[in-house]
Amino acid sequence: MSRSATIIGFCVLLLALESCAISGRRVSELFKTRIDNRVLWRHHRLRQLRELTTLGGPTSQSKSALPDNDDQLQSFAESQNGTTSGSSKQSAEESESAEYPEMVLSESDLAEAGVGQHRLIMNRREIYEQNIVFRFYHGGQLTKTTSLNQKTALISDSQCTPGEKYAIIVHGWHENCYETPWITELEKNLNTFRGGCIICMDYSIFSNNGYTYLFRRFNDISEVLLKFMRTMQYEGMMFENLYMFGFSFGGQLVLDAGNQIGSSMIEAIDTCDMAGPGFDQDRFFKNVNFRYAAKNVQCIHTSTDKGTKLMNKCHQDWRMGLCGFKQPAAGKPPFGSHGLCPIFYNLAFTVDFLAESKPSECNLLRDPFAAYPIGYKMGYTENRKATVRGELYAQTTNQYPYNMFHNL
């Protein structure tokens, strides 16, 4: 009897031990799962921090007002780092984020995020430096096409030589350097009236998307232009021999790059109807002026729907047509009031858009009106710019070549 009781007790003990072992394994697995989930959530938070510190638009003030889908560019950058962004992983991270909403990032977490941020910034810069193209022209011929990620010197094999005059043209939204008519015409005019090396910056891989998409990449594109200019300077091309022209979004780019160079080092910058949407609402842009971007900054204004409404930031601010608001010849895009600006500018190489007294319909405008000599005209060929500062008016017509005849 006692032997049977001993056997039964031993069996009960074995069953109890087995139950404890099973429970222990379950606890261990649950604990491991929770640790894995915490690690997953920590990585999720780190990536959020990296994205927050890496991605965005031209200024912190405008980011929230301009939502945009950055998935394609971010996916490209992540693929360079060997990371994945599958929907299954994302859903798992979202479920775990609900379980650990109060997790605090440590200093080591922030350090790791900083390393990842640096990696993403480098990848982002490489994307822009690889895809923004610079087309060199000399003597009316295309001599070289290159980008900043090439290993050779920018001016090598371009026929451009250190110390000679050079020009940089920057197009606008939905334009490029090889199909846009006003760019081809401006290259011809500069070759005739200026000579030297002519360069067009082509960022059409980005400008062919929506305007909000492009606007949020303003800083990235401007940084490429600035790096190009500094590299050219390093190779012997002097800022004092540099003329820049930009239309619309390109006008904002050349002025921003000129301001970053600063100290009026660049010979001259001319802009046509610099873009207004997104910029006019930006607090920084409202307060900045471009009079130190170059020795002379001439800004031509032809519209207020696509061009800036802030027409008082340059050495000469030309208000064309009806107070710079619209043009009598305006038709359908691309030949609306905005698109006519580079057409006027090219025509001004051979016809005169003369300064005149302020029209009565513009009397409510309070910006300082410029004193100007007789026969003073808008455009590249006017050589008395150093003596003229302020607001200027030139009427336009609805008939080609759009200038108003004056019997001086």
- Of the two residues 237 and 52, the one the predictor is more confident about is 237
Q: How confident is the model at residue 8 (pLDDT cuts 50, 70, 90)?
A: low
Confidence of residue 268 (pLDDT cuts 50, 70, 90): very high
pLDDT in tens, 329-378: 999 989 999 999 999 999 999 999 999 999 999 988 878 899 999 999 99
Domains of the chain in sequence order: 2-126 (no CATH), 134-376+387-394 (3.40.50.1820)
Instruction: Provide the pLDDT for residue 11.
Output: 61
Residue 383 has pLDDT above 70, yes or no: yes
Is residue 288's pLDDT more than 50?
Answer: yes
pLDDT at 49 over 90: no
Task: Give dist(CA 207, CA 252) in Å, integer.
Answer: 14
| Higher-confidence position of 116 and 58 | 116
> In percent, how much of the chain has pLDDT > 90?
65
**Structure confidence at residue 396 as a pLDDT band (50, 70, 90):** very high
User: Once rounded to an integer, what is the mean pLDDT over residues 185-191?
Assistant: 98
Residues 216-261: pLDDT tens digits? 999 999 999 999 999 999 999 999 999 999 999 999 999 999 999 9
pLDDT digits (tens, 9 = 90+) for 146-168: 999 998 999 999 999 999 999 99
Taking alpha carbons only, the member of 213, 316, 322 closest to residue 271 is: 316
**Mean pLDDT (whole number) for 256-267:** 96
Stronger pLDDT, 205 or 100, i.e. the higher one: 205
Question: What is the structure's pLDDT at 199?
Answer: 99
Q: Which of 383, 351, 316, 332 is nearest to 324 (CA)?
A: 316
